Amino acid sequence: MRIDGALLEQRLDELYKIGTEPGGGVYRPLYGSAWAEAGDCVERWMKKAGLEARRDAVGNLWGRLDGTKKGKVIVTGSHIDTVRHGGRLDGALGIVAGLTAVEALLKEKGKPRRTLEVVAICEEEGSRFATNFWGSRAIVGAIDSPDAAMAEAMRERGLDPATVASAARDDIDTFVELHIEQGAVLETANVPLAVVSAIVGTAHLELAVTGRPDHAGTTPMDMRRDALAGAAAMVQAVESIARSLGKPAVATVGKIRAEPDQINVVPGRVVFTVDLRHSDPGARRALEERTRSLCRTIAAERGLELEVRVLHERPPVPMHAEVRAVLTRAAQECGVQATELVSGAGHDAQILAARCKVGMLFVPSVGGRSHCPEEHTDPGHLELGVRVLVRALELLAY
């Protein structure tokens, strides 16, 4: 089916004007004014496309096209909030693509058999409150009452914090989302499209290494208990373990802090974080266990103490086999041999998987850039992604 590529780009441009930040990019934090403005914009588009728009109790925006038969619905969309200095495509693409796809289907194919909905999920990024996946967690009924600050922010948007439980749905059959890869695997492999096989499981650890602060001049090398030299060996170990486990294992030390942080004092304490990801639950655990074990060995060898704290843990979530098959078939029918890819980033689909079948399509990110103003995908790739999404929705709902 033909897609209006110019309209797609124009809508993405329009959303990217909402919440612009000095220094580049946009910021549309949950329940902020830019967030509200972007929602109003999408709602106008939904109505214009002939969809019935409504907002649920947490502010997820739904655009519904009733099917001719009763039964569970097919949903597509993404999140409307952004990180600080966010780009033009993360989240926005899934909403605009879903709307464009459903609009095209209605125009070309008429009413679907199954009800189709486009959703602008209110929050995924956690960049205002510590609430990652607030919107999708509300849909699967997995949120608690908002705290005072958040409740106040909801009331400012006319939402009643007491009713968040009513956002839960059990009538969704399938959720499909088009998203940018946010990495450079597709670009490097010169592949225009991927069907996501799974979303990785993540563990965030905090490692605190304690040695002894010493004078950098008067303490011979063999009398030191240097927390930073030990931590450096651990950072190296984290990298080696992920490399040796092989793809899709990744491990990252993103934050590090040394104390007392003086040029002429041997660091007595270092705290650093480790972000570990794998799509296989066993391999994810192995990654963590090897990291803990090797870091313990390094600490023991150097007379250092080591404390490991788990900050956050999420299991891997496989995409549903049926949805993957539909997406793969849709790609083939659009003339594309899509690759399979593990998503290293988190997405709403991993939450929605608790209540419905889920699947995702990735289009390439130029240079792998995301969460920044440089976020970009070739317009041809965007259009291809939407064409495959249209065909997949057609296969699912018509």
In angstroms, rounded to a whole number, what is the distance separating the alpha carbons of residues 53 and 213?
Answer: 62
The first and second tokens of residue 133, run together, are 């996946």
In DSSP notation, 130-193 reads S-TTHHHHHHTT------HHHHHHHHHTT--GGGGGGG--S-EEEEEEEEE-SSSHHHHHT-S-
Using CB under 8 A as the binding rule, whether residue 182 contacts its own copies is answered as yes
Residue 336 binds to its own copies (criterion: CB under 8 A): no
The dihedrals phi and psi of 173, each to the nearest 5 degrees, come to -90, -50
Q: Does 197 bind its own copies (CB under 8 A)?
A: no
Please choose, out of 26-34, 135-143, 343-351, 387-395, the segment that lies near its own copies by the rule CB under 8 A.
343-351
Tell me whether residue 5 or residue 373 sits nearer to its own copies (CB atom): 373
Interface residue with its own copies, options 130, 144, 218, 282 (CB under 8 A):
218
Least separation in angstroms between residue 171's CB and its own copies is 31
Q: Which residue of 52, 147, 261, 289 would you call a contact of its own copies, by CB under 8 A? A: 261
Q: Is residue 214 part of the contact set for its own copies (CB under 8 A)?
A: yes
Report if residue 387 touches its own copies, rule: CB under 8 A: no
Interface stretch with its own copies, choices 43-51, 55-63, 94-102, 178-186 (CB under 8 A): 178-186
Q: In the complex with its own copies, which residue's Cβ is closer, 99 or 237?
A: 237
- Per CB under 8 A, does 201 bind its own copies? no
Residue range at the interface with its own copies (CB under 8 A); choices 40-48, 136-144, 342-350, 389-397: 342-350
- Radius of gyration, CA atoms only, the chain: 23
Residue 370 DSSP one-character state: -
The Cβ of residue 320 has, within 10 Å, a number of other Cβ atoms equal to 18
The whole-angstrom separation of Cα 169 and Cα 306 is 45
How far apart CA 255 and CA 151 sit, in angstroms, is: 31
Site for its own copies contains 79 (CB under 8 A): no
Q: For residue 317, what are the β-bridge partners? A: 199
Q: Judging by DSSP bridges, how do beta strands 357-363 and 116-121 pair with one another?
A: unpaired
**DSSP tag of 198:** E
Binding segment for its own copies among 17-25, 93-101, 326-334, 344-352 (CB under 8 A)?
344-352
- Told to check if 368 binds its own copies by CB under 8 A, we report yes
| By the rule CB under 8 A, 283 interacts with its own copies | no
Nearer to its own copies, 155 or 247 (CB): 247
Task: Name the phi and psi angles at 153, rounded to 5.
Answer: -65, -35
242 binds its own copies (CB under 8 A): yes
Distance separating alpha carbons of residues 20 and 138, to the nearest angstrom: 28
Cis peptide before 213 (omega within 30 of 0): no
Of 57-65, 155-163, 180-188, 288-296, the window that binds its own copies (rule: CB under 8 A) is 180-188
User: Closest Cα partner for 365 from 189, 194, 182, 199?
Assistant: 182
Confirm or reject binding of residue 183 to its own copies (CB under 8 A).
yes
Q: Among 252, 292, 294, 373, which residue sits at the site for its own copies (rule: CB under 8 A)?
A: 252
Alpha-carbon distance of 351 to 282, in angstroms, equals 20
**What is the binding site for its own copies (CB under 8 A)?**
181-185, 188, 200, 202, 204, 214-223, 226, 228-229, 231-233, 235-236, 239, 242-243, 247-256, 258, 261-267, 273, 275, 277, 311, 343-346, 365, 368, 370-371
